[in-house]
Chain A
Amino acid sequence: DIQMTQSPSSVSASVGDRVTITCRASQGIGNWLAWYQQKPGKAPKFLIHGTSSLQSGVPSRFSGSGSGTEFSLTISSLQPEDFATYYCQQANTFPLTFGPGTKVEIK
């Protein structure tokens, strides 16, 4: 199975800050990576596929980059509604595997 790791596990930031989350795969997955946002008590929301393609309706302050084994999600200017937990997921092969999550908290 492909193992996914994320760093940091949590980050404290202020509105307007730039935040970057890193995701690493235990083996190369090309660009087959997704990002999800989850708010407390809610189902995850699909944000990004193919490493960098934003889903319809996702604000442009979100961006993704990387390839192979190292990826990142950047929020260019954090907004109040962005405080949530973010998960990466490899979409290269079954079994689907997720990173452990990064919680973005208010500073």
Chain B
Amino acid sequence: QVHLVQSGAEVKKPGSSVRVSCTTSGGFSSYAINWVRQAPGQGLEWVGGIHPKFGTPNYAQIFQGRVTITADPSTGTSYMELASLRSDDAAIYYCVRLTGGLYLDYWGPGTLVTVSS
């Protein structure tokens, strides 16, 4: 059984950074962990991901330079850090396991990030 446990909700000021963690049970190094966000009342947006075994992250172009995704195989944890936060970064951030076929099969519960001055 695969479970993804995410860190708690965050409230951040514009211009600051946020780091969200995601701890996976079962086969962490065998699958890539990706991050998808959902702004309030909006659809799903892919942020990026990393395969713990290979270590090279992959980011959506719109987040390039602001997002850093890392993975720590020793703890089975992936981290997503987003810098220079803006009000439109307010969203639920989901960590998701990515299958070899680029499908998102197991989803974490989500972490709400609020950006407010």
A residues with CB within 8 A of B = 1, 32, 34, 36, 43-46, 49-50, 55, 87, 89, 91-101
Is B46 a contact of A97 with CB atoms below 8 Å? yes
B residues with CB within 8 A of A = 34, 43-46, 58, 60-61, 94, 99, 101-110
Q: Which of A46, A98, A99 contacts B46 (CB 8 A)?
A: A98
Is A46 a contact of B43 with CB atoms below 8 Å? no
Is A43 a contact of B102 with CB atoms below 8 Å? no
Q: In the complex, what distance in Å separates the CA atom of A92 from the CA atom of B102?
A: 7
Is B108 a contact of A43 with CB atoms below 8 Å? yes
Q: Say whether chain A's binding surface is mostly helix, strand, loop, or mixed.
A: loop
Query: Taking A43-B108, A44-B107 as contacts, is the C-beta distance between A49 and B101 under 8 angstroms?
Result: yes
Chain B, residue nearest A94 (CB): B58
Is B105 a contact of A55 with CB atoms below 8 Å? yes
Q: Which of A50, A89, A93, A100 contacts B104 (CB 8 A)?
A: A89
Is B58 a contact of A100 with CB atoms below 8 Å? no
Chain B, residue nearest A48 (CB): B103
Q: Which of A1, A32, A55, A96 contacts B34 (CB 8 A)?
A: A96
